[in-house]
Amino acid sequence: MSTTPSPKRVLLLTRTATSVVPLGELARLRASAASLPGVSDAAFAFSEEGTPSLRAVLMDWAADDMPILIVPLIVPADPAFENWLKRTVARWQAEQGGTWPPIGLAPFPGNPELMTMLVAGLITSSAITPVEGAKAAGMDGSVVPAQKRRVLVCMGGPCNSVGASVIWGHLRNEQKRLSLRTAGEGMMSAKTSCLGPCSLAPVVQVWPEGTLYGGVDEAGIDRIVATHLLGGEIVEELAYAATGVKQRLR
């Protein structure tokens, strides 16, 4: 005797997407997921840059007790990403408080068994297309950006393990939402390799002052944007001076 699956919400998760074509493909996958038995609602979200963010969708869905299944569309499987995801969601739950619905995590597509099936399907696909020669690079030249400030988000191992990717995504989404490239004195942002003070992870640095911020979360990014990038003043509570001696998170 068949049983009807318990209703749940499905969240398709990928790292980043800002252009029209991948957004359209994600919308197609979302519609396909929403049509499956037992799926009451489906959405896609991004752990880094892109709208909607993973945090925004989970906060929206946390209002009721409908179970949530996160389906990572990320290849290859990365245990560090899975650990980061679990810790980050737990942090959001603690910050938000209240009672959350059950949240599950589906296997990554990089799971050996699933990956074997995927690769076999791609090799035998009838949709294989020829690779055309690359077009010559344009000769129109480039504009050197005039923005005064540069914001670096550390992507070293310790920073990544405590959520640097989601901090980067939140910064980039706010940069777009608030037009930070042209607001105030203007800013540009970039990922960087290890900035050095690993015990202060996640670390963000703002130039030209060279200010190092430690233990940064989404609320910290909001304060840095409002106070430092737009107001021109360092957020002292999050900043760590270049003393030349070891420091720990306050």
Judgement on whether residues 112 and 153 belong to the same structural domain of the protein: no
Through-space distance between the first and last CA atoms of the chain, rounded to whole angstroms: 59
* 3-state class (DSSP) for residue 192: strand
Q: Is residue 210 one of the residues assigned to a domain?
A: yes
Q: Is residue 48 one of the residues assigned to a domain?
A: yes
C-alpha 141/C-alpha 168 separation (Å) is 29
Judgement on whether residues 104 and 22 belong to the same structural domain of the protein: yes
Q: Tell me the residue range of the domain where 223 lies.
A: 149-240
CB atoms inside a 10 Å sphere around CB 149: 19
Amino acid identity of 167? Answer: I
Judgement on whether residues 192 and 235 belong to the same structural domain of the protein: yes
Q: Over the chain (250 residues), what is each successive 10-residue block's mean pLDDT?
A: 75 84 87 92 91 92 92 80 87 90 86 77 82 68 84 92 89 93 92 92 95 95 96 94 89
CB 202 within 8 A of CB 163: yes
CB 149 within 8 A of CB 229: yes
CB atoms inside a 10 Å sphere around CB 145: 11
C-alpha 114/C-alpha 116 separation (Å) is 5
Judgement on whether residues 107 and 163 belong to the same structural domain of the protein: no
Residues comprising the chain, all counted: 250
Q: For the chain, how many structural domains are there in total?
A: 2
Q: Residue 83's domain is classified under what CATH number?
A: 3.40.50.1400
Pick the last residue of a domain from 104, 120, 136.
120
Judgement on whether residues 84 and 186 belong to the same structural domain of the protein: no
Residue 147 pLDDT: 87
Residue 111 pLDDT: 67
Judgement on whether residues 93 and 167 belong to the same structural domain of the protein: no
C-alpha 42/C-alpha 2 separation (Å) is 24
Judgement on whether residues 116 and 12 belong to the same structural domain of the protein: yes
Judgement on whether residues 99 and 38 belong to the same structural domain of the protein: yes
Reported pTM:
0.77
Q: Which residues pair with 207 in a beta bridge?
A: 150
Amino acid identity of 168? Answer: W
Residue 135 pLDDT: 65
Judgement on whether residues 116 and 154 belong to the same structural domain of the protein: no
From the CA atom positions of the chain, what is the Rg in Å? 21
Q: Residue 219's domain is classified under what CATH number?
A: 3.40.30.10
Residue 83 pLDDT: 85
Residue 112 pLDDT: 75
The number of helix segments (H) and strand segments (E) in the chain equals 7, 9
